Amino acid sequence: MVSLGSMDVLKRLFHEHFHSPVESVHPLQGQLGGSGRAIVRLANRSQSAIGVLHTVREENLAFLEFSKHFRRHGLPVPDIYAEALDEGAYLERDLGDTTLFEFLSSNRTGTDIRPEVVDAYRKVVTVLPRFQVQAGRDLNYKFCYPRAVFDRQSIAWDLNYFKYYFLRLAGIPFNEQALENDFGRLTKFLLTADHDYFLYRDFQSRNIMLRDDQPFFIDYQGGRKGALQYDIASLLYDAKADLPPELRQHLLDRYLEVLSTFVDLKRDVFMYTYYAYVYVRIIQAMGAYGFRGFYERKPHFLQSVPYALKNIRWLRHNTELPIALPTLMDAFKSMIGSEKLLSLASDSGNLVLRVFSFSFHGGSVPVDQSGNGGGFVFDCRALPNPGREERFKDLTGKDAGVIEYLVQQESSHQFFANVVALVETSLEAYQKRGFKNLMVSFGCTGGQHRSVYFAEKLAKHFRGKAGLDVVVRHLGLESLGK
Q: Looking at residue 340, what is its pLDDT?
A: 80
Q: At what angle do helices 400-407 and 450-462 cross, to 10 degrees?
A: 80
Q: Which domains, and CATH codes, for the chain?
A: 4-93 (3.30.200), 100-340 (3.90.1200.10), 349-480 (no CATH)
**Distance (Å, whole) CA 155 – CA 146:** 13
Give percent of the chain with pLDDT exceeding 90: 78
Letter for the amino acid at 87? E
Is the pLDDT at 325 greater than 70? The verdict is yes
Quote the mean pLDDT of the chain. Answer: 92
Contact partners, residue 323, CB within 8 Å, separation at least 6? 185, 186, 189, 276
What span, in angstroms and rounded, lies between the C-alpha atoms of 6 and 25?
13
Q: What is the pLDDT of residue 347?
A: 52
> The pTM is what?
0.76
What's the rounded Cα separation, in Å, for the pair 279 and 234? 10
Where is 288: in which H helix or E strand? helix 267-290
As a whole number of angstroms, the distance between CA 356 and CA 439 comes to 8
Compute the residue count for the chain. Answer: 482
| 337 burial level (CB within 10 Å; 0-12, 13-18, 19+) | middle
Contacts of residue 48, defined as CB under 8 A and 6 or more positions apart, other chains included, come to 41, 42, 94
Backbone angles phi, psi at 72, to 5 degrees: -65, -30
Buried-state track 164-174, b at ≥16 Cβ within 10 A, e below 16: ebbbeebebeb
In the three-class reduction of DSSP (H, G, I as helix; E, B as strand; rest coil), residue 229 is classed as helix
Q: List beta partners, residue 42.
A: 25, 49
pLDDT digit string (tens) for 298-317? 877 888 898 899 899 999 99
pLDDT tens, position by position, 405-461: 999 999 999 999 999 999 999 999 998 887 888 999 999 999 999 999 999 999 989
Q: How far is 335 from 341, CA to CA, in rounded Å?
A: 7
In sequence order, the 6+-apart residues with CB closer than 8 A to the CB of 373 are none
